[in-house]
Amino acid sequence: MGANYQADWNSNCTLLVCAFPNTPKFRQVEADCGTIVSKEWILECYNQKKLVDIDSYLMHAGKPWRKGYISHKTSQEGSPPRKCPKVEKQSPSRPASFTSSKSKASNPSKEKFSPSELKKWAADDLKKTISWLESQEEKPEQSEIKQIAAEGILTCLQDAIDSLEQNQDIQQITEQWQCVPRVVEELAKLEGTKKVPASPSKKDLCKRAKACKKIYEEELGKLDNETREKTTQRAKDGRNKATSSDAAGYDSEETIEMTEEEIDLAYKSITS
């Protein structure tokens, strides 16, 4: 319909189209004072074949999403536009126990941030985030919850990377997110050792965070593929049982050649 889709929220985005509130990305855009609309807005635009006004689909009214646009709700109420929350830079408190134990080692983070450890963290973070999403009043659909959890983990990690690139502390990211991935917590702890000799700089931390994100992306993608393969296999097993039980009643001369797509459609029709 002429719109450009972005996988992640950035300065070029004008609207976040969201299925439900209180997701990690919803809070990210809300904190950035972005405008959020429900998915029904996209459907209505398609139905009417035109750009429909967003007022009745607003989930969060942020900065004007178009030049000269002012929300009718804001103008009717006569209240000034909502100011975006500013996050002040805070110096993180350094855990004494962590510092004293780690300062003795020559390279405290080498083993902690090993690929094998990061893969374990990714799996644990996915379970923890899914559990957190399921505990919310407005929870996502079961078929979407794993994807949303993975997306939230990677978004939080990207926030930490952005913060380091802007020479800011990761601690503020851990305060903004309600469900913080283990890797971000560990990076924040490592950042807290900056007064210790040979502690990593912001640049080194940023490089490490990017490497961590790459491993997280691979591991979360692998976990998602494994789930899909199991789901596909269960569907195939069910289809094979259905076809084998019915095969005895048919004459081979009446066999019809079908494409894989036609078989899937026929199976769905039978099971429904």
| pLDDT, average across residues 215-243 | 70
Lookup: tokens for 100? 């004293």
**Domain 15-60 adopts which CATH fold?**
Rossmann fold (3.40.50)
pLDDT band at 195 (very low <50, low <70, confident <90, very high): low
| pLDDT, average across residues 13-25 | 85
Residues 72-118 pLDDT 10s: 444 444 334 444 544 444 444 444 444 444 444 445 556 678 888 89
Q: Is 185 exposed, middle or buried (0-12, 13-18, 19+ CB in 10 A)?
A: middle
Q: Is the pLDDT of residue 45 over 80?
A: yes
Q: By the 8 A CB rule, do 36 and 18 touch?
A: yes
Q: Where are the domains of the chain?
A: 15-60, 115-233
Instruction: Output the average pLDDT for the chain.
Output: 77
CA 200 to chain CA mean position, Å: 28
Q: What's the predicted TM-score (pTM) here? A: 0.47
